[in-house]
A and B are shown apart, each in its own frame.
Chain A
């Protein structure tokens, strides 16, 4: 399994500055480095690989346009890229898409034995995890992907999602717990079947 690590901020700022000077090597470098995380982010939100590829491609084509107009990002290249990716995903789904958020009973860990749930998580197969993720509300998926997969900071995540940090804090809290509930359903099914 690949673990994608974004470059450190200093490297990112150098690359961005070079790209703003129309340095083509820097642009290609940005593509090499940032395509994988952007594609992963989109692909986990959009199940279809071709759509994910198109949207990810579009993010970078837009970066070129932005760099050559007055809209070039001045700071936080990653913030800009994820924000554009997010907008494209939203456009793709359309604003009207209704999220079917299942209401589930609160999962209460048994005080004596917290491990079975964790054990169960670790044994889950990847497709089930992806399915469970997609059952979350859009913003809950986003916050988990940005915070846990992309390892972005609370502030960066807040900037990308256009919310304040307090809202992101409670959103991520709800997101992990909703995910637990959905997975808990799987677990019960497993035990029943």
Chain B
């Protein structure tokens, strides 16, 4: 019954689905198989519908985070290289630098990130820094070189990873002006809630071929305020099923300039015994941990509100764009592909905090109306609630114990079970 043809065509269609096309797109490409293909593809797509409720995933992720962090803290590095090899490598590097270093570092002066010689440029700078007393002036000079390089990369439409330091001049939606460079800053970047105009930041970013500078990391290196006290911050967040928080913040200031901030967020559902004061379940909440206290009570008072509701980014409809309501099965990549823009652009315009999380029913802006998904049936939220409640009772049990006991340590080998219960190359029934 199943011809080899149909097997191949099915595979072709699954590939198309993974690339953001719809069932209908593929059926149009293979009209002669449409009748048989449609139910197969629809059946396969049901696995997507079976997806686990976001809340459940989030709870599991937060509970398991401690294990991961402990592993990072405690796992020793066992990657040892034979000492002789290390010495030989060091000697070669040294000789290499002495012989050709001068020439290369001169030749590398005009290189840009991504160029072969660029490493020599940085290496040359680090030597200069090491041999010079006034490093701050040098750093300034080198930072200006970084900024020049970025302008050149952007002008040449080249993609590369870059780092620079600059003052935040403007924050307008997701577009920030830092050191006179427009930087795309996605609202979900960790730590950005505490960054304000006037702060000096170290920016790690990538330039794109369409001449954008997209931040991948922002670090506050000077917030222009000297901390006088260490604030105690108690943060209790109970995430709702839709991950929208209704925050309320209370701030009390005592004459001794000790600032106590309590932010709480109420939600429709209580998923687990609430975790207090530790890693908070929402990405936005965690930024409050980096808060530095200020002498002015007003600034501190506004911050918890800022962090609980990301006011940094408000979606604004660019002219000509249309509303689109997220449906089950939609993905940002598919929507971006269907509307002919990049995922980053979609995120930027719509302030989508996490590119891999879309919520059904959420309305976003698209440059034009698209059809990426056949109308699905989304009456399953009730069931999601049911399953996520399953693990509410057990949340405290297994936080502490190590979960390493679940089997033999075969993490690296492809375990060979190809003979177990399938005969791999039959394609008939």
Q: List chain A positions with a Cβ less than 8 A from chain B.
A: 1-7, 14, 22, 24-25, 27-28, 31-33, 35-37, 39-40, 43-44, 49-50, 52-58, 60-62, 64-66, 68-72, 83-84, 86-88, 90-92, 95, 99, 106, 109, 111, 114, 117-118, 121-127, 129-130, 132-133, 137-139, 144-145, 147-149, 151-154, 159, 162-164, 166-167, 169-173, 175-177, 179-180, 183
Q: Determine how close the nearest CB of chain A comes to the CB of B338; give it in whole angstroms.
A: 14
B residues 392-416 near A (Cβ < 8 Å) are 394, 397-398, 402-404, 406-412, 414-416
Is A152 a contact partner of B421 (Cβ separation < 8 A)?
Answer: no
Number of interface residues of B (CB under 8 A): 99
CB distance from B152 to the nearest CB of A (A): 21
| A interface, over-half SS | helix
Are B50 and A153 in touch, CB under 8 angstroms?
Answer: no
Decide if B39 touches A5 in the complex (CB within 8 Å): no
Q: Are A118 and B421 in contact (CB under 8 A)?
A: no
Query: Which among B358, B383, B429 is the interface contact of A3 at CB below 8 angstroms?
Result: B358
Q: List 11 A-B contacts (CB under 8 A).
A: A3-B328, A44-B52, A49-B60, A64-B71, A64-B75, A95-B417, A114-B38, A117-B42, A153-B15, A166-B425, A172-B10
**Are B7 and A90 in touch, CB under 8 angstroms?**
no
- Residues of B close to A40: CB separation below 8 A: 51-52, 57
Output the least CB separation between B17 and chain A (Å): 7
Contact with A along B245-262 (1 / 0, CB 8 A): 000000000000000000
Q: What's the Cα separation between A56 and B398 when bound, in Å?
A: 13
**One of B6, B359, B380, B421 near A137 (C-beta < 8 A):** B421
Selected interface stretch from B61-69, B175-183, B291-299: B61-69
B369 at the interface (CB under 8 A from A): no
Bound state CA distance, A90 and B56, in angstroms?
A: 23
Query: Contact: A177 with B2, CB < 8 Å?
Result: yes
Contact across chains for A2 and B357 when beta carbons are under 8 A apart: yes
**Within 8 Å CB of A95, what residues of B?**
417, 420
Which of B96-104, B124-132, B165-173, B371-379 forms contacts with chain A?
Answer: B371-379
- The answer to whether A55 touches B68 (Cβ under 8 A) is no
The interface residues of chain B lying within 8 Å CB-to-CB of A118 are 38-39, 42
- Measured CB to CB, the closest approach of chain A to B367, in angstroms, equals 19
> Closest residue to B36 on the A side, CB-wise?
A109
B54 at the interface (CB under 8 A from A): yes
Chain A positions within 8 Å of B381 at CB level = 1
Q: Does B1 contact A (CB under 8 A)?
A: yes
A58 and chain B: residue at smallest CB distance: B403
- Against A, the Cβ 8 Å flags (1 = close, 0 = not) of B11-55 are 100110110000000000000000110111111111111111110
B220 to chain A, nearest CB (A): 14
B390, A49: Cβ atoms closer than 8 Å: yes
B418 touching A50 by the CB < 8 A rule?
no
Q: Are A170 and B427 in contact (CB under 8 A)?
A: yes
Cα A60 to Cα B64 in complex, Å, equals: 9
CB of B86 closer than 8 Å to a CB of A: no
Q: Is B85 an interface residue (CB 8 A)?
A: no
Contacts of A145 in B (CB 8 A): 47
Contact of A50 with B48 in the complex, beta carbons under 8 Å: no
In angstroms, Cα B40 to Cα A117, docked, is 10
A183 and B420 CA atoms in complex are apart in Å by 25
> Does B266 have its Cβ within 8 Å of any Cβ on chain A?
no
From B76-84, B303-311, B315-323, give the one contacting chain A.
B76-84
Instruction: Determine which residue in B6, B15, B50, B409 has the highest number of CB atoms from chain A within 10 A of its CB, and name it.
Output: B50
Is B52's CB under 8 angstroms from A173's CB? no
Decide yes or no: A149 and B48 within 8 Å by CB, A57-B403, A118-B42 being known contacts: yes
| Cβ-defined partner of B68 (8 Å) among A22, A64, A99, A171 | A64
> Are B415 and A87 within 8 A (Cβ)?
yes
Whole-angstrom CA separation of A130 from B387 in the bound complex: 11
How far is A11 from B204 in the complex, measured between Cα atoms in Å?
14
* A65-B418 Cα distance, complex, nearest whole Å: 27
A87 touches B15 (CB 8 A): no
Residue of A nearest to B381 (CB): A1
Starting from the known contacts A35-B61, A39-B60, 4 additional A-B residue pairs (CB-CB under 8 Å) come to: A39-B52, A64-B71, A148-B17, A154-B15
Q: Which of A1, A69, A70, A111 contacts B360 (CB 8 A)?
A: A1
Check A106 against B427 for contact (C-beta < 8 Å): no
Residues B39 and A144 in contact, CB atoms below 8 Å apart: no
A114-B390 CB under 8 A given contacts A44-B52, A126-B50, A148-B17: no
Known: A49-B390, A53-B64. Is A169-B384 also a contact (CB below 8 A)?
no
Which are the 6 A-B pairs with shortest beta-carbon distances?
A91-B407, A167-B424, A57-B64, A49-B391, A162-B414, A126-B380
Whether A55 contacts B75 in the complex (CB less than 8 A), given A114-B38, A122-B377, comes out as no
Q: B420 contacts which chain A residues (CB < 8 A)?
A: 95
- A157 CB → nearest B CB, Å: 10
A53-B63 in contact (CB<8A): yes
